[in-house]
Amino acid sequence: MRFYFQDKAAGNFATKCIRVSSTATTQDVIETLAEKFRPDMRMLSSPRYSLYEVHVSGEERRLDIDEKPLVVQLNWNKDDREGRFVLKNENDIIPPKAQSNGPEKQEKEGVIQNFKRTLSKKEKREKKRREKEAIKLATDGEDAQQLKDDSKGEPLAAEVYKDNQKTFYNALYPIQK
């Protein structure tokens, strides 16, 4: 599974992919991610991290410590939703009452727009893939109908091969005189 971590100091995102079992809790995942993202900083301070699921709509939800992130992600498909997991340092999170319309809000909106853009690209690719599959299925059905040319219902290719069997053999193994 892919996880994102926003680096407030650098102003960018880091991503890591880790293998998560269906029995792993949010706490297990947070501990692993803290080691992966910031092994050197972990020794200097003891930050508190939380795992959030963020969706295209901008909806954000903090996962409980005992929730299972893999199960949460699998439920996104059931609900036709796209999302990402973001690891956040609780010390960096501004309480809702203290939020303003300043640079923090603009930064958050920029992050949400970035997520929306990436997810909409994925949706477009998925839509194209579905359209190609539908076209392929439609053309496969037409091709199958065209191949049944004989009244016996034998495919046309089999008839052509049967009639020209010697020709095919001769093309593969020319007669030497």
pLDDT at 34 over 60: yes
Distance CA 71, CA 174 (A): 63
Architecture of domain 2-93: Roll (3.10)
Q: Which of 56, 57, 61, 77 shows the shortest CA–CA distance to 26?
A: 61
% the chain with pLDDT above 90: 2
- Residue 98: the pLDDT is 46
For residues 8, 14, 15 and 18, what is the CA-based torsion angle, rounded to 10 degrees? -80
**Per-residue pLDDT tens over the stretch 133-161:** 888 877 766 555 554 444 455 555 555 54
Q: Is the pTM value of this prediction over 0.75? A: no
pLDDT at 41 over 70: no
Q: CB–CB of 52/67 below 8 Å?
A: no
Query: Checking DSSP bridges between strand 83-89 and strand 60-62, what pairing results, if any?
Result: unpaired
Distance CA 67, CA 51 (A): 10
Tell me the angle at which helices 165-172 and 156-163 cross, rounded to the nearest 10 degrees. 70
pLDDT at 54 over 70: yes
Q: Please indicate whether residue 105 or residue 62 has the higher confidence score (pLDDT).
A: 62
pLDDT at 25 over 80: yes
